[in-house]
Structure 1
């Protein structure tokens, strides 16, 4: 307890404020990284869905051309 009482607030408060600022930055970075990863996953899923729909459309067009020929 004596060690805590002997801490000079002239450097301890800016140090604590800086540490809090760094921790907030790390947290914000983690949140933005997670959000970016989720957006990338959704985009990849949407691209796969569009590719499957495109493949199905081309297959049906080729089949229709064979049937009507």
Structure 2
């Protein structure tokens, strides 16, 4: 479901942030998490993508939205 996919992406970002800030982890893990976060979508990006997909007339009937503007935590 689009809202579950959106929530998963958001929670993955939160997890990467947590990893990047955890001093108990090796520097390589923290560095890799920071690297992945550089272009990882924010919560706002995900909500915007969901809204665009939900309201795109050109997709109507052809494709279902991939993401959702609704986030149920």
Q: TM-score, normalised by structure 2?
A: 0.31
Q: TM-score, normalised by structure 1?
A: 0.33
Q: Which one scores higher on RCO, CA 8 angstroms, separation ≥ 6?
A: 2
Q: State the structure with more CA Rg.
A: 1
* Higher normalized helix content (fraction of residues): 1
